[in-house]
Structure 1
Amino acid sequence: MNANDNIKIDDLKKPYFVWFEENWVHDDVLHHHQKGQLVYVESGFQYITIDEKIYLLPQNHAVWIPPNAVHKTNSHSEKIKLMIMFADIRTKNSFYHKINVFSVPPVLKEMIKYAEKWSKQMTPDHDENLFLKALFNELPRFVEHSLTLHISLPKDQRLTKVIEHLHHHYRDEIKMDDLSDTALLSFRTLERIFKKETGLTLSKYQQMLRIIKSLELLSAGHLTISETAYEVGYKSVQAYTRSFLSVMQFRPTDFIKTIQ
């Protein structure tokens, strides 16, 4: 998990394990655990790849990663505070077997912060078990405002250069027809393959990249909504707000409230 520690999660003989880091450093390798895990970003922001989809985890948000889901950390802000909590999952409740990214409500935030006292405790603890059992039991009820925002990574090698171009030039005005030359495919064929692989059209994919990047910038807290809009390629705050609303189903101002 962490480049500075050698804790083997699946070898631990306890149902729960808490791991808090002031400045998380990940080894960026795909892996999985038999336990499910809750990852909470106290400050900063984190990108996580889970089952070939990239999710953004903004400040004051958490992700539930089901048992055995293949995942890795992609990149993150310079300084990030992470709390990771592992749990043996025996229930068939569907919540615990799918990915959920959500803003953390005040009650859950306080519970997570309280659990920091057990960080990296290797031996079983009765009080820890009771507390974390209650936390994980209530987890489905805390997830009211899920962020379903993610982008899929296509497997088709013909799309590699197209994806690279979109990721490097998402803020620019891209003529989508020109991308067919990059892929050496007709535009019609490119659009068909791209949508099959990612679930999105080329223009929608660019929009998702812009919104994801804007969430990252808003989480960092250095730019206003207006500055963020221009930074990710929108010509006006109104255009950015419309785009944000269509993707997220809420406004940038609502998002700001979830990270404060």
Structure 2
Amino acid sequence: MDIHGTIKIDELKKPYFVWFEENWIHDDVLHHHQKGQLVYVESGFQYITIEEKIYLLPQNHAVWIPPNAVHKTNSHSEKIKLMIMFADISTQESFYYEVNVFSVPPVLKEMIKYAEKWSKQMTVNHNENLFLKALFNELPQFVEHSLTLHISLPKDKRLAKVIQHLHNHYRNEIKMEDLSDTAHLSFRTLERIFKKETGLTLSKYQQMLRIIKSLEYLSSGNLTISETAYEVGYKSVQAYTRSFQSVMQFRPTDFIKTIQ
């Protein structure tokens, strides 16, 4: 299936394809390609659902989507600059069959920008092939540490209202025991099923929602770190920074450097 209604990716008779849009508009539809896909956010931020997990792509970050992974784009900022690159994958190296979200280092950023000149070029180009082969070959080296910028969506229908409540009220103080009434389950059963489905406890899930939402605010550049902390429900900047560091393994100030 194609992603934009105009170019059918799997019908292209070329190993690589570059697609750049000044203000990207996606169909909000689950689809997949035989080619692997690199999505780079030059400015703005983008949510992407891949294999039932929601990932956040802040500015100057990229995601590698493996071949045939079912995905769709979700809500995004008002203006977004995306570069999308597709590649046939023949190697068995495990990297290319896993989702990776990462901060784009300067060298890769320049390579992606250089490749823009081949955007939407439908015919095979020898120089394009050589350049993009080198780019995709080096991709595992560019991804030094992948970020945990995703939350899993549970399949169990009993958790639907619980998830909805957490997403709507993540910035509030939530008494997790009260959520058992929402699911019509005992609290112990709810916790067990929720952890099995999402890999997280209820309180850890709320923490992930807060941190992911905070990354969206920080990416927009409209709020300071302290304003962001209060916006997502923390009582102090110190509490936010501790929480952020425990999830991301680095500080909010370090994140801001990666998006500049």
Task: Give the letter for the 2:211 counterpart.
Answer: I
Query: Residue in 1 aligned with 2:7?
Result: 7
Q: 1:7-86 residue pairs with structure 2 within 5 A? A: 7-86=7-86
Runs of 4+ in 1 over 3 A off after TM superposition: none
Q: Secondary structure at the match of 2:144?
A: coil
Q: 1:1-260 residue pairs with structure 2 within 5 A? A: 1-3=2-4, 5-260=5-260
Q: 1:2: Cα distance to partner?
A: 4.7
Q: 1:21: Cα distance to partner?
A: 0.4
Task: Give the letter for the 1:82 counterpart.
Answer: L
Whole-Å separation in 2 of the counterparts to 1:133 and 1:9 = 18
CA contact under 8 A between 1:2 and 1:24: conserved in structure 2?
Answer: no
Residue deviations 1:38-67 (CA, integer Å, cap 9, x gap): 000000000001011111000000000000
Whole-Å separation in 2 of the counterparts to 1:232 and 1:58 = 17
Normalising by structure 2, we get a TM-score of 0.98
Whole-Å separation in 2 of the counterparts to 1:17 and 1:173 = 47
Q: 1:148: Cα distance to partner?
A: 2.2
Whole-Å separation in 1 of the counterparts to 2:195 and 2:146 = 24
Q: Which runs of 5+ in 2 are unaligned?
A: none
Q: 1:193: Cα distance to partner?
A: 0.6
Whole-Å separation in 2 of the counterparts to 1:142 and 1:187 = 43
Normalising by structure 1, we get a TM-score of 0.98
Aligned-pair identity (%): 89
Whole-Å separation in 2 of the counterparts to 1:76 and 1:145 = 24
Residue deviations 1:43-95 (CA, integer Å, cap 9, x gap): 00000010111110000000000000000001100000000000000001111
CA contact under 8 A between 2:3 and 2:31: conserved in structure 1?
Answer: no
Q: Which runs of 5+ in 1 are unaligned?
A: none
Q: 1:149: Cα distance to partner?
A: 2.2
Measured on the aligned residues, the alpha-carbon RMSD in Å equals: 0.8
Residue deviations 1:110-158 (CA, integer Å, cap 9, x gap): 0000000000000000110011011011111101131122100000000
